[in-house]
């Protein structure tokens, strides 16, 4: 059976790596993002790996665009089996007392409200379709969803804590509906999005943030993609309402 997966924030970084991994398994894939040129290029690349991939331009912090996105997926492929809610932004934030309300609103909308909106409409689609196996939703959180961080900021940390709360609540509410909901929490991962929010050349940034990980290495986007593939597989059938930290042991050493 060919499965269909929606990946938000799929035009680069973690999302694109996940699209590649599912394409290699022959899946139907829709990647969503705001950048049309990058999205079309990503879809063309992923199409060459074995699966079928479409790009859909959408800002998933806007509900009408989320509704249209989910309708596109279902119309295009007839079903929505898996969803990876990966879209988000990282902004280098000042201390809480200096935090501008506009920045707070932007970060919360991109990293938390988007997950809520996507899950809301993904769950409706999944419940309304005929299925012979469970549907799966995976949310991209962060290890700062487990604690505070000197490298993060108030809005980003609060948003990622919220993503974990949404994940657990949705898992409880949908356990009897053949829908599993889990999260992944990457540790330091050098992607275009994170690099844009940090100071210094890429090599210096990589050297600095890799020291947070006890292995001394950054998490690769492929590490995260492979975990998402696993969580969508029958091998993960009893994993529900959980968060998988991918941090090389960073949380364990605190």
The catalytic position among 5, 156, 231, 247 is 156
Query: What is the phi-psi region of residue 9: left when phi exceeds 0, alpha when psi lies from -120 to 50, beta otherwise?
Result: left
In the chain, the N- to C-terminal Cα span, in Å, equals 43
Contact 8, 121 (CB under 8 A): no
Active site residue 56: no
DSSP-derived letter for residue 50 is T
| Cα–Cα distance measured from residue 172 to residue 157, given in angstroms and rounded to the nearest whole number | 23
| Cα–Cα distance measured from residue 115 to residue 32, given in angstroms and rounded to the nearest whole number | 13
Q: Could you write out the three-class secondary structure of 11-24?
A: CCHHHHHHHHHHHC
| Cα–Cα distance measured from residue 42 to residue 35, given in angstroms and rounded to the nearest whole number | 11
How far, in whole angstroms, is CA 136 from its chain's centroid? 13
Instruction: Report the SS3 class of residue 80.
Output: coil
Catalytic residues: 156
């Amino acid at each position: 059976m060919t499965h269909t997966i929606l990946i938000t924030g799929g035009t680069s970084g973690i999302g694109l790596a996940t699209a590649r991994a599912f394409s290699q398994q022959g899946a139907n894939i829709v990647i969503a993002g705001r950048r049309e040129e990058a999205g079309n290029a990503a879809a063309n690349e992923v199409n060459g790996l074995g699966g079928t991939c479409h790009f859909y331009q959408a800002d998933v912090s806007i509900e009408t665009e989320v509704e249209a996105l989910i309708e596109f997926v279902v119309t295009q492929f007839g079903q929505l089996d898996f969803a990876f809610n990966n879209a988000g932004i990282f902004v280098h934030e000042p201390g809480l007392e200096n935090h501008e309300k506009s920045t707070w609103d932007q970060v919360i909308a991109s990293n938390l409200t988007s997950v809520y909106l996507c899950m809301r409409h993904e769950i409706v689609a999944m419940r309304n379709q005929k299925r012979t196996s469970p549907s799966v939703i995976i949310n991209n959180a962060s290890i700062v969803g487990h604690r505070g961080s000197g490298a993060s900021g108030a809005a980003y940390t609060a948003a990622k804590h919220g993503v974990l709360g949404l994940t657990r609540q949705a898992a409880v509410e949908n356990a009897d509906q053949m829908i599993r909901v889990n999260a992944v929490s990457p540790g330091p991962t050098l992607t275009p999005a994170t690099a844009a929010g940090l100071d210094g050349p890429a090599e210096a940034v990589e050297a600095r943030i890799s020291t947070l990980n006890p292995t001394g290495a950054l998490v690769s986007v492929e590490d995260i993609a492979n975990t998402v593939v696993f969580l969508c597989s029958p091998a993960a059938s009893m994993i529900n309402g959980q968060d998988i930290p991918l941090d090389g042991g960073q949380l364990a050493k605190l």
